[in-house]
Amino acid sequence: QVQLVESGGGLVQPGGSLRLSCAAFGISTSNYNMGWYRQAPGKQRELVATITTNSSTNYADFVKGRFTISRDNAKNTVYLQMSSLSPEDTAVYYCNARRYLTLWGQGTQVTVSS
């Protein structure tokens, strides 16, 4: 079955860190451009970061210097390392794969609160 499965979300205090994982099944992440998006309550889904098949990365301005996207093709997994989190980062984070197909994961909730 072709799917993306996110994990690693949770509750974290402001200034804290989390690492999200996106495990791919049925596709090879090495052949896909991968990305992380997020959607906060009442807002549209927005791009957070992307990594291409040749590992070029791109970040939204609001996460530059705080988040890092990476991939481990041997594990067929993409990661989003998040640091210096603020309440404004609270959202459901979604993994995306794009090239031959466009796939979305089910999302993982990140809540930043004291």
Do the beta carbons of residue 52 and residue 44 sit within 8 Å? Answer: no
Give every CB contact of residue 65 below 8 A, 6+ residues apart in sequence.
none
Do the beta carbons of residue 4 and residue 28 sit within 8 Å? Answer: no
Q: State the pLDDT at residue 86.
A: 97
Q: State the pLDDT at residue 13.
A: 98
**Tens-level pLDDT at each residue, the chain (114 residues):** 899 999 999 999 999 999 999 999 999 999 999 999 999 999 999 999 999 999 999 999 999 899 999 999 999 999 999 999 999 999 999 999 999 889 999 999 999 999
Q: State the pLDDT at residue 100.
A: 86
